[in-house]
């Protein structure tokens, strides 16, 4: 799938119910091309559920998710990368085979150059012939993240992407994310790490008693874009 420029992801009045309990209600925000949104909040507040709703795996109790721009006739799920807590890696396959499968499945073809570049970007080049089962937790995480670099898609949904990563790998991930944003991509990540991306906004999810609010921009010198359009 090619990378059609996405102007904006708009989420309006989203509510989510899990197991009969209202997790969050009335969540609205929008993320424009080149922007990153950080989801924060205590455990169990619904960060993963929010990402899953955006990806289209679960249906919200109310509200809607809309993509402006991008490929109009393609579902949102096919324009996004979803990296969950689980890495979607097969231990019996080698590092290259794992990545080649995902790239072949998602794009219908395998571009060798892109595969090598993705492995290099996440410092997996030296491990490429190893079976994924013998990798460490951090290395497995890097292999899961290599999907992002291998197959180009405009929207990245990352659920705690830095879990298990050492400092160097976090820097590699940051570089990858910066490139993605520079190319006009969108990132929504639930994380407790500050990546220092230029255009970052934060959505603070609170347990249901308190209302949900959005605070603006973290990084110094960042444009305060978009934060005011949502209450």
The binding site for other proteins (CB under 8 A) comprises: 1, 55-59, 77-78, 80-82, 84-90, 92-93, 97, 101-102, 104-109, 147
Quote the least distance from Cβ 107 to other proteins, whole Å: 8
Whichever of 180 and 201 has its CB closer to other proteins, that residue is 180
DSSP the chain: ---PPEEEEEEEEEEEEETTEEEEEEEEEEEETT-EEEEE-STTSSHHHHHHHHHTSS--SEEEEEEEES-TTS-GGGGEEEE-SS----TTSBHHHHHHHHHHHHHSS--HHHHHHHHHHTT-GGGTTSBGGGS-HHHHHHHHHHHHHHS--SEEEEESTTTT--HHHHHHHHHHHHHHHHTT-EEEEE-SS----SSEEEEE---TTSPPEEE---STT----SGGG--
The distance of closest approach from Cβ of residue 100 to other proteins in the complex, given in angstroms and rounded to an integer, is 9
Closest Cα partner for 214 from 230, 190, 194?
Answer: 230
Q: Which is nearer to other proteins, 100 or 206 (CB)?
A: 100
**Nearest distance from C-beta of residue 221 to other proteins, angstroms:** 34
CA atoms within 13 A on the CB side of 55: 21
Q: Shortest Cβ distance from residue 76 to other proteins (Å)?
A: 9
Instruction: Judge contact between 68 and 7, C-beta under 8 A.
Output: yes
Shortest Å, Cβ 52 to other proteins: 8
Nearer to other proteins, 88 or 218 (CB): 88
Nearer to other proteins, 69 or 104 (CB): 104
CB of 159 or CB of 214, closer to other proteins: 159
Query: Is the CB of 63 or the CB of 198 nearer to other proteins?
Result: 63
Instruction: Name the minimum Å distance from CB 64 to other proteins.
Output: 17
């Amino acid at each position: 799938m090619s990378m059609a420029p996405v102007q904006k992801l708009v989420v309006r009045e989203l509510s989510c119910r899990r197991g009969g309990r209202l997790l969050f209600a009335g969540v609205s925000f929008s993320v424009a091309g080149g922007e990153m949104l950080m989801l924060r909040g205590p455990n169990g507040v619904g960060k993963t559920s929010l990402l899953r709703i955006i990806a289209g795996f679960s249906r919200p109790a109310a509200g809607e998710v809309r993509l402006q721009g991008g490929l109009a006739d393609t579902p949102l799920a096919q324009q996004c990368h979803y990296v969950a807590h689980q890495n979607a890696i097969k231990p019996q396959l080698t590092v290259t085979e794992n990545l080649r499968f995902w790239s072949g499945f998602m794009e219908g073809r395998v571009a060798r150059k892109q595969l090598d570049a993705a492995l290099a970007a996440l410092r997996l080049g030296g491990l490429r012939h190893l079976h994924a089962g013998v990798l460490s937790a951090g290395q497995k995480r890097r292999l899961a993240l290599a999907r992002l670099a291998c197959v180009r898609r405009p929207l990245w949904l990352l659920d705690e992407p830095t879990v298990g990563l050492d400092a160097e790998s976090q820097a590699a991930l940051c570089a990858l994310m910066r490139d993605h944003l520079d190319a006009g991509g969108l990132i929504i990540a639930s994380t407790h790490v500050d990546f220092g991306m230029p255009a970052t906004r934060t959505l603070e999810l609170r347990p249901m008693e308190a209302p949900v609010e959005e605070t603006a921009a973290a990084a110094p010198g960042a444009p305060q874009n978009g934060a005011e359009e949502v209450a």
